[in-house]
A and B are shown apart, each in its own frame.
Chain A
Amino acid sequence: MNYRDEFDLPLAGPDCAAFAPLLPLAQQGILEPTDRAMLDAHAAGCAHCRAALAAFDQLDAALRRYVLATTAMPPAPEFLVRSALAQAPATASTSDVMEQPMQRQTVPAAVLRRGRTLVASISSFAAVVALALVAALIFSTLHSNNMAGKVPHKTPTAQSTPTTKSTPIPVARVQVDAFTSVSFATPTDGWAVGKHAVLNTSSQNNSIVDGGLIFYHFTNGAWQPVSVPLFAHQVVGLVRISMVAPDDGWAIVQANPGGVLHYDGTSWQMANFPALGDQEAPFLIQMLSRTDGWIVTEVGDVGGGVRIWHYDGTHWTAQPLPAISGFSPQSISMLSANDGWLVGFGSGATAPPYQGVVLRYHQGSWSVQQSIPNFQFTDVSVDSMTDGWATGFKQYADSTGIVHLQYTLLHYANGTWSPSNAVSAQPDSESFTQIQMLSPTTGWLSKVVTARGGVDTTMLYRFDGNRWTLQHTFTSVSNGDNWVPSAFTFLGQTGWYVGAYTIPGNKLVITSSEKLAIYQYQNGQWTAILPEG
């Protein structure tokens, strides 16, 4: 092939042909030292071969970018461990490090929850379930409800590993309940919502045998469970809530089909929301008042299609969004009826690279306010027209090709979003999971530290207008993934943190259950309300 004319290369010299086979290998450490020395000597005086070497260097860089971009959402390591164990249970020789080897086959709640960084940020339903075993179980159930193709993980099957000869053990039934959202209309009236799941698990098979919603109401100074029979016994993903008054609130349920619920002060009922399409489910919600609110729905996997709906007090109406290839919204923060933000990320039609995207609602329409290459927003909270904070992460490959995840805090000031080093996060092991700004001088930020073989730690930071300071550490409340993405909310000096409580001290793959967890922040102190005792 002669590409010289086509690509306007410098003329090849008489010796170039001899060196041509060496050019593609120059950067791979493959050439013999003598060949390398001869090539270097030749290239020093040959513009043609220097250009070719530069071309291959750029090709290498492009290839690394391509692979980096296509490797979002790798399988969660904990899922891989669990699936391997499901195929071949640990023997005495390999289980001597286990504290409770007989519990190994019970559902690994810690594993299920540990979606880690990617999970924390990619919160479409498919991504939610892609990260852990329970997630895979949810998938398998929903898959049968025509959600095929949405979830990348397969559940382990005998077919995939026909040589497995592990001995089945009795089926264990495990209950994994968790709060996923909390909202208070007033300091004395609020709700925490979550989901209920019962799993059957054995060394050969796993299945969700029951599901449903969990609603707790805080009123008269105490939390009380409230029966909401909607979605009873159904597998659900995220449940989120937004209260505007003690007698007016909304909740969204990720399921297939998903749904929007409304509370009128008496009971929760299915709201009069427009029919959603196949595999379309609500994902984000923020209500500003009785006559103003927003819900974002997403179709299927990341980038499957997004619609944003506005409530005017009577009807929900889809509003136009700018066309963004592969858009996946992650968080909405409405400041007023006329000003708000929506963040997420876009990608190519067939695959990433991802690009962080900030949309702003202003003068009645949504438009792209800013984009950040190789970045994925995970949360946003604005506190004024000119100030706000957001979280997200970037991916990068080190010299060995290993992909890392680095979370970053961003600050909105002077009309632009910029990285802030006010709170750092270690690559891979630490992720920002939620941020809430109450004002330009008051805000809260949660950071999850994933621990190998242990229980995640959640660090809660408080902003005082000048700096972020670590305020509290939760050592056994789950967070950091979307299986049980615990959440907090603050109103003035009062705050609530909800999620699921993991028994401390248990190691990976042997935690057997989760309990609902509620913590109250008052007068500068955190108090455990649930689990009791």
Chain B
Amino acid sequence: MAETERPFTLDDFTAMTQQYSAPLFAFACGFLRDRDAARDLVQDTFCDAWRAVQQRTPPFDLGGDRVDLRRWLYRIAYRRAVDVLRRRRVIHWESLDADDAVVAALPPERISFEDQIAEHDVLHRALTELASPDAACLLLAVVQGFSAAEIAPIVGATPAAVAKRIARAKQRLLASYLAQNQRAHEETRS
């Protein structure tokens, strides 16, 4: 029997948790900016997955195509994350009208511990300021390596809209990032 024709088993599910728990957690952390909530989200996502396994819902009806499984997990995680944010009442949606492009040069690569802390704080704040769908598209693209076409069904948008969200998110993130750096440089000079 071919690998993809056999039933999806508990062993398959276990392997799936081992493969995807860390990257899903990374996505959830970046999106929610709350590790505790991210852990809960990952746990709930895999509970959803297991129920889908029980019900033989695609893509768990057969052995499970790896690509389909990954997309399914992220789609569920995204939906749950949106629910979390809605409950927090911090989610906001924006139109896809084009923003002015933000381009600038970043300071040289910084790797010191103190700089990493500063960088972390800046990105943490900047991500918070992004519209949630934009942040999700950004993280899925830059950190998780999804294409726009793959992100589209996850977030329920067209590939073109996903591309716009990614572009806008990166522009805004860069603006925030640079503004923080600029302030830091001015403080250093003063």
Contact = CB atoms under 8 A, between A and B. Distances in A.
Contacts of A7: 104-105, 178, 182
Given A62-B123, A84-B13, A348-B121, A403 B22 contact: yes
Contacts of B167: 21, 24-25
Given A67-B143, A69-B120, A81-B17, A6 B182 contact: yes
A399 B142 CA distance: 10
A287 to B, nearest CB: 33
A63 B103 contact: no
B184 interface: no
Contact of B50 (A8, A85, A399): A85
Nearest to A66: B123
Interface string A162-188: 011000000000000000000000000
A338 interface: no
Contacts of A61: 109
Contacts of A66: 30, 119-120, 123-124, 127
B147 A30 contact: yes
A88 B123 contact: no
B8 to A, nearest CB: 7
Contacts of A355: 113
Interface residues of A, number: 90
A350 B128 CA distance: 14
Interface string A54-91: 11101111111111111101111111110111011011
A127 to B, nearest CB: 12
Interface in B12-56: 13-15, 17-19, 21-23, 25-27, 29-30, 35-36, 39-40, 42-44, 46-51, 53-54, 56
A98 interface: yes
A528 interface: no
Interface string B110-151: 011100110111011001000000000011011111011000
Nearest to B49: A84
A355 B112 CA distance: 10
Contact of A63 (B19, B39, B49, B143): B143
A76 B42 CA distance: 10
B82 interface: no
Given A59-B174, A350-B121, A21 B98 contact: yes
Contact of A68 (B21, B26, B43): B26
Nearest to B103: A52
A456 to B, nearest CB: 14
Contact of A67 (B26, B53, B112, B182): B26
B109 A58 contact: yes
Nearest to A374: B116
Nearest to A85: B50
A161 B29 contact: no
B139 to A, nearest CB: 7
- Residue among B15, B111, B116 with most chain A CB within 10 A: B116
A452 B166 contact: no
A59 B167 CA distance: 12
A380 B7 CA distance: 47
Contacts of B98: 21
A59 B43 contact: no
Interface stretch (A152-160, A431-439, A485-493): A152-160
B144 A400 contact: yes
B35 A48 contact: no
Contacts of A1: 100-102, 175
Contacts of B11: 97, 453
Contact of A3 (B9, B117, B178): B178
- Residue among B46, B117, B121 with most chain A CB within 10 A: B117
Nearest to B25: A74
B13 A81 contact: yes
Interface in B69-117: 98, 100-106, 109, 111-113, 116-117
20 contacts: A1-B100, A3-B103, A8-B105, A24-B174, A56-B170, A59-B173, A66-B119, A66-B124, A67-B27, A67-B30, A71-B22, A77-B17, A80-B43, A81-B46, A88-B54, A98-B10, A154-B39, A156-B47, A161-B47, A397-B26
Q: Which 8 A-B pairs have the closest CB atoms?
A: A20-B101, A52-B103, A84-B50, A24-B170, A74-B25, A77-B17, A7-B104, A24-B167
